[in-house]
Each structure stands twice: as C-alpha cells, then as structure tokens.
Structure 1
Amino acid sequence: AENGQDTGPRALDDVLDLVPADPRKGYDVRPVVELVCDAGSVLELQPGFGRAVVSALAHLGGAPVAVVANQPAVKAGSIDTDAADKAARFLELADAFHLPVVFLADNPGVMAGTAAERSGILRHAARMFAAQARVRSAKLHVTMRKAYGFGSSLMAMNPFDGQTVTLAFPGARLGAMPAESGADAAGLEGDSRDLLEHSELGGAYSAADTMSYDAVIDPRELRNALLDALRLSATRATGPVAPRAPRGILP
C-alpha cells in the first residue's frame, strides 16, 4: 500500500529471505528497514557517510520514527568512527523532535585494529553511546542476528537504558566476542569448544530468561511487535511534548 495506507499490522514473510541465517554472511539492511516500515515512507539520511550504520526517518503505523540499523554489507556491520559520529548526531536529532527510535542491531562489535584505534574509535563510540543513553523518547531495540561487546550497548541493548521494548530473533548471538573467536583465543578444543559454541546459540533465550529481552520473536512478526511497542510507549506519555535542553557533555 502507498500514500499512507500501509499503517496496520502485517507479517513480514520476505524477511527470512532478506536476513541470512548464517551470521557470517553479509546482506543489505536497507530492504529490511523498508519492509518493516510503512510502504514508501523511508528517507535515509547521509547514505554516503558512515555507511556501516543506516540512519533513516520513516513512518511506522502512521507515526514518525527514527531508525538506526547496523549495515552488515559494510565492514560486516562493525561500527567505525564515521558510523558512530553519524549515529550520534542522528540520535540527537531524533531526541530533539521526540521521535521514537528503532534500533536494528546486527554487528560484531566496534571496529577493532590499529587503524581504528588511531582514528579514536573508543572516543567516537563513547559519543554514540552517550547520545543514545540521553534519548528520552521511546527506544525499541531488536537484535536480529548478533550484537557483540560494546556494539550491543551502542545499539541500546542494555536493559538499564530505558527502552520501551527489547526484542531478539531466535538464534541471536551475544557476548563479549563470537564464541568461535573466544574458543580460538582460549585454545579450546573438543567438548569444551562445542559447549561454548552451543551456549552462544541459546543466548537470546538465556537473556530473555533473565529479562534482558522482553521477548524472542518470530522475525516475520517484527513489524507487529514494534507496532505494539509504539502503542505501549504512547500510554506512558506523561504530558505534552516540549523542547528538551541537552544534558551533559558528549565525549
């Protein structure tokens, strides 16, 4: 549907084709964003800068929202300095206009390596984290396939960050680093390695058991779950929106 008619719930049958099950395979997240949001409503900002993150304005259920999504087609979704700067500025914009923010997380963490460190990645990533922590409008987080290390915190996965809802796809992988890399670093083999890799596969359910996630959802129900979360956030409004003065100093 076009022209504002696509505002109701619908299943996302195509999402299973757009998001590969193998977390090591890249894909373009932009068709996922377009599928989740109301038809024809997505406007991506700064598409040529910081391409490891997609930032877009859109409508969801007829309501304006901001979307921050990792882009696995670029650097496997690792957040580098440009991506962190773009996301931080976009989050400030979204919060200034009281826009709910949808975070679609699928990243192996913050960009690592000598070049990244020389570029000041930790300071830039800290700025993105501070910007998302200062957001006071509704925050809707979804871990699609993976979110490792500080990369998960940048995408508002932490349960203490005031999210309206935190969701995960089945099989979402979490941790300080991928289990395979951790096993290599620790020199694990045999049953110990298998146990570590197996435990990673159940990470989303384990996190849901401890209320780090509100629910583990069928990917095809993503839009409907986000619509429910937007309705929930509307019931929590305490008064008319008003200008917000920024607090604190960003790194």
Structure 2
Amino acid sequence: MTDAQDWQETLEDLDRRRSHAHGMGGPERVARHHGKGRLDARARIARLLDPDTFCEFGTLVGGDIAADGIVAGSGRIGGTPVMVGAEDFTTLAGSIGPGGNAKRYRLAELALRNKVPMVMLLEGAGFRPSGEHYGRTPTDLIVQAQCSGKVPTVSAVLGPSAGHGALVAPVCDFTIMSAGGAIFTAGPPVVKESTGEEISKENLGGPGVALASGVIHNDAEDDETVIDDIRRYLSYFPSSAWSYPPTRLADGTADPRPTPELLGIVSRDNRHIYDMRTVLDVVFDRPDWFEVQPRFGRAIICALAHLGGFPVAVVANQPQVMAGSIDSDAADKAAHFIMVADSFHLPIVFLADNPGMLPGSRSERSGVLRSGARMFAAQTAASTLKLHVTLRKAFGFGSMAMSLLGFDNQVATFAYPGATMGAMSAAAMSRATHAGEDYAEVLKTMELEASYRSAGHLGFDELISPVETRDRLLVALQHGVFSRQAVAEPVSRTFIMP
C-alpha cells in the first residue's frame, strides 16, 4: 500500500465531517430559512467577502452539531483582510454552546492580534440551555471590548437575536438590521414567563423599536442590502488604529472645484429652511457619502464621505429638524460617531447651523445637558484632524459642541459672512432681558455684525464665500494630512465620559 493510499481513508473521513458541518441544519431547515427570504449563514459570508477568500476555522467544533451553530473564519473585503462570524439559525437556532463560545472568543482574539476588522452576522438564541454554569470559561465579549477603538467592529442583525448573542451588537462600532431582524435581552416567550406581557418579536425589538432607541444604527430591506452596506461602511476605514484611512485619489478628485450651488441652497435668511444633505452632496465627492443613524437624533447628520479622495467623518446640523437645535438623541449619536472617527484617524468636518441646545422641559427631562456634555467631551478630546464651518448660525453651548471654540486644536475654522453667533440669538436675548424696541434693534444689528467682529479678533481663521467652501476645506485637509509624519497608533483616552 502506498503512502497516498494510507491517507485515503483518513481524508475521506475528514471530508465526511466537513460535509456535515457545511450542510448546517440539513436541507429541510436550510430550505425553510430560504423560504423566509433570508440567506443562510454561509451564503451571507459569501456575499460579504471577496470571491474565494473565505478561510474557515473551527469547522469541526460541535461534532454532530454542525460547526456548533456558528461559521467563523477570515477573508477579504475590498482586498482588506477581515475576520467574520455568522450565527447559523438552522442549527439549534444559532444558539451558543461551549465550542461556539470558544470560536467567538478566538474570532475576536485573531481580529485584535492581526489588527483587522471584525464582522458578526447575528441570528441566534443566545446561550444554549445546558443545565450547568459555564464557570470561568472566557466570553467573547471580553475580547470584543478589548477590540474597541483598536479594530473596526461591525454587526448585522439578520433575524431574531437574543441574550448573549444580542449583546454583541451594541458593543460594536456600527450595527445594521434587516427588515426581518429583531434584537432583545430575551425573546417573547421569556418576557411572557417573567413579566406576563404578551408581545411579538417585532414589537419587542424589531427595526422600528431598535432604531428609535438607538440600539442599532442603520437598517436595510434584506440580507443582501445589509451586507452590501457593511462593505461600503468599512471602505472608509483603515484595517486598524495602527494605520491611516485609505485614500481614493482618482484623476481630478483633488482638483479645485468651486461650489456656487451653495448660494442657492443656504439662504442668508435664518428663517429659510434647507436640507443639509444637499450641502453634503455639493461639498463632498459626489455621490459618495454614507449616513450613519439617519433615523435617530435627526437634528444632526453623521456621515462618512470623501473630500478630494480622503475619507472623512461629517457632523452637520440639520436645519430641517428643530431648526438644527441639538437634542439629547442627536448629541448622543454625535458623541459615539466622533469617538469612532477619532479612534480610526478619520478627519472630522463640522458643518454648523444651529441655534444651540434644544431648550424646554421635555428636553431637560431627557438629559440634554448631559448628552451635550458627552458630545462636547468627545469632540474636544478628539486628536484627529478637525475642520469647522459655520454656515449661518452657531449659538451657545451648541456651537462649542460643534467645535466652534478657540484653542480647540482645529486644522481650520471658517464661517460665512453674516453668520450669527454668540451666547444666544438677538430675539432670545431681547425676550430674556425684556429689552425695549430700540435695544432689541441694537441687539439684532450686533448679531448680524457678529461674524465680522469675530473675524476681527481671529475667532476663526477666515470668513469665506459659500463658493469657496469645498476648496478651502480641501486645502486645509491636505495640509492636515501632511502633518501625519509619525506611525499611526491607537488613541489614548483619559477623560471620563459624562
């Protein structure tokens, strides 16, 4: 018998075991899953990764339980190495056993060790009932928390996700959900048993609930669109905090391009409402920008974009929502977004047009000052490149949270002529001080002259025309990027988040 023949029986046995793992929960369960309009775990990974780049580990974990309910391995997205795990709902509802728990831990461990992004595709029932405690068995959440700020972490909720598995999502930098997804501490049967409440999984933690609460950032109609959005999101980021974001310097990308369109968008009348998204369309490399959390904290737009080929994070007030006043949800959203951008060295462009923090009893009960302080702490502690433009108005603490603040280490600060700024608007000051008609007119005149007085004391670097917006930002960004003459390193944070 030759050496090759000696191996034949052993390798055939290996093939049988692998085939069992690749079959997941079996043809009937897989077909039932497909019948719900969902991809199976392996098809999801195939959609996410560049073709023929998936390299699986832990295939045989679980023995008779195919891959122990989670498919895990490495691959590439747009040529960049990543680690990916996908819960297999067709195998014991994607529940987590000892082997699956070890694979999840190893997945995050390898992402951190190899300094590459980690993506988790969730659809599982949490820890598998076993009648015993897992004791000191390490949990994947420990090392996932260690990944935070070091490597980009992304999760997708593609079906019901409960218990321990669901905790993966809010620990990630970015989470997106499909229309059929749901996320909760415990599912409807457990809720009924423990509280007596009868509720559907959609009403407990479906997209409408999870988006409104801010637990997830974005949603999309189906598995395919969710996965495509993950690929797009990661395209703005470096592989880790030890490297800088990739540039897209195509022909003409960095050429001067005036923006006269802004003269027809941003009215000089503060009472005129416009959509800040149209400003982003003009200023950044069109049509390439990706909004994060568009249905939460809508008074602020957080977006990933390219400016002259350089990836940037954009934090912009939205005049269409409460005149751009910053409420607690908007501030919380922006604080998280700023910290993610700072962690991975994305320059942050602030586009300010707001009358300050949202006043009122409802706003105060929601903790607007705490949330505003959180946003302020995140932006002023950010060590990445920061650029600021005041388009029309920036008042009080809201302007400070939007980085209109001296000695705040910005690369550049600009404002449009006639922009109004100060502790509060002239109208609010008149009402607060019970000013007479003559003095109210004086306050209004002072308000209109505010940008020139500030420019006279170098309150910002320059007053610019809207036509100059993109070109001035791009030159400042290019100079800022030139300052990166040291190797990238993870950000060290010492402040206590409010």
Give the TM-score band, short-chain normalised.
Answer: over 0.9
Q: 2:330 aligns with which of 83, 87, 92?
A: 83
Distance 2:406 2:346 in 1: 20
Q: Which has the larger displacement, 72-81 or 192-201?
A: 192-201
Q: Which residue of 1 aligns with 2:404?
A: 157
Report the equivalent of 2:262. 15
- State the Cα deviation string for residues 45-81 of structure 1 (Å, max 9, x = none): 1111110000000100110100000001011101011
Greater mean deviation of Cα atoms: 49-58 or 15-24: 15-24
CA–CA distance in structure 2, aligned partners of residues 183 and 15 of structure 1? 31
Following the alignment from structure 1 to structure 2, what is the Cα–Cα distance between the partners of residues 220 and 104?
15
In the alignment, does 2:331 pair up with 1:111?
Answer: no
**1:139 aligns with one of 386, 390, 393:** 386
Match of 2:481 in 1: 234
Instruction: Decide whether the 8 Å contact of 1:143 with 1:169 is kept in 2.
Output: yes
**Are the equivalent residues in 2 in contact too, given 1:129–1:154 (CA < 8 A)?**
yes
1:48 aligns with 2:309: no
1:93 aligns with 340
Which residue of 1 is the match for residue 461 of structure 2? 214
> 1:32 maps to which residue?
279
- Number of equivalent positions: 249
Give the Å deviation of 1:134. Answer: 1.2
Provide the residue aligned with 1:246 in structure 2.
Answer: 493
Q: Which has the higher contact order (CA 8 A, sep 6+)?
A: 1
Letter in 2 for 1:97: F
8 Å Cα contact 1:6-1:39 kept in structure 2:
no
- The 2-side partners of 1:54 and 1:215 are apart by 24
C-alpha deviation, 1:190, in angstroms: 4.0
Partner of 1:176: 423
Q: Distance in 2 between matches of 1:148 and 1:93?
A: 26
Matching residue's letter, 2:302: S
State TM-score, norm by structure 1. 0.95
Contact 1:7–1:38, Cα closer than 8 Å, also in 2: no
Structure 1 residue 87: deviation in Å? Answer: 0.2
- Residue matched to 1:102: 349
Alignment-derived partner of residue 102 in structure 2: none
**Secondary structure, in 3 states, of the residue corresponding to 1:14?**
helix
Report what 2:376 is aligned to: 129
Q: Partners in 2 of 1:136 and 1:54 — Cα distance? A: 21
CA contact (8 A) 1:147 1:175 kept: yes
Which amino acid in structure 2 is aligned with residue 115 of structure 1? R
Q: What is the deviation of 1:20? A: 1.7
> What is the one-letter code of the residue matched to 1:194?
E
Paired residue secondary structure (2:384): coil
In 1, the alpha carbon distance for the partners of 2:352 and 2:317 equals 6
Give the stretch that moved more between structures: 192-201 or 139-148.
192-201
**Of 299, 303, 306, the match for 1:59:** 306
Contact 1:204–1:213 (Cα < 8 Å) also in 2: no
**What is the distance in 2 between the residues matched to 1:77 and 1:221?**
23
Deviates more, 1:177-186 or 1:99-108: 177-186
The answer (yes or no) to whether the contact 2:404–2:413 under 8 Å persists in 1 is yes
In the TM superposition, residue 235 of structure 1 has moved relative to its aligned partner by: 3.2
- Name the residue aligned to 1:204: 451
CA distance in 2, matches of 1:84, 1:191: 37
User: Match for 1:167 among 414, 428, 438?
Assistant: 414
SS of the counterpart of 1:211?
coil
8 Å contact 1:144–1:172 — kept in the other structure? yes
Do structure 1's residue 187 and structure 2's residue 434 form an aligned pair? yes
Gapped runs of 5+ residues in structure 2?
Answer: 1-248
1:202 Cα deviation from its structure 2 partner = 1.2
**TM-score, structure 2 as length reference:** 0.49
CA deviations 1:199-223 (Å, max 9, x no partner) are 1111111111111110000011000
Cα deviation for residue 184 of structure 1 reads 2.5
Instruction: After superposing the two structures, state which structure 1 stretch, 137-146 or 227-236, moved more.
Output: 227-236
Q: Partners in 2 of 1:238 and 1:191 — Cα distance?
A: 56
Other-structure match for 2:145: none
| Aligned-pair identity (%) | 49
Q: Which amino acid aligns with 2:320?
A: A
In 2, Cα distance between equivalents of 1:140 and 1:151: 16
Contact 2:304–2:311 (CA under 8 A) maintained in structure 1: yes
Given residue 45 of structure 1, which amino acid in structure 2 is its aligned partner? V
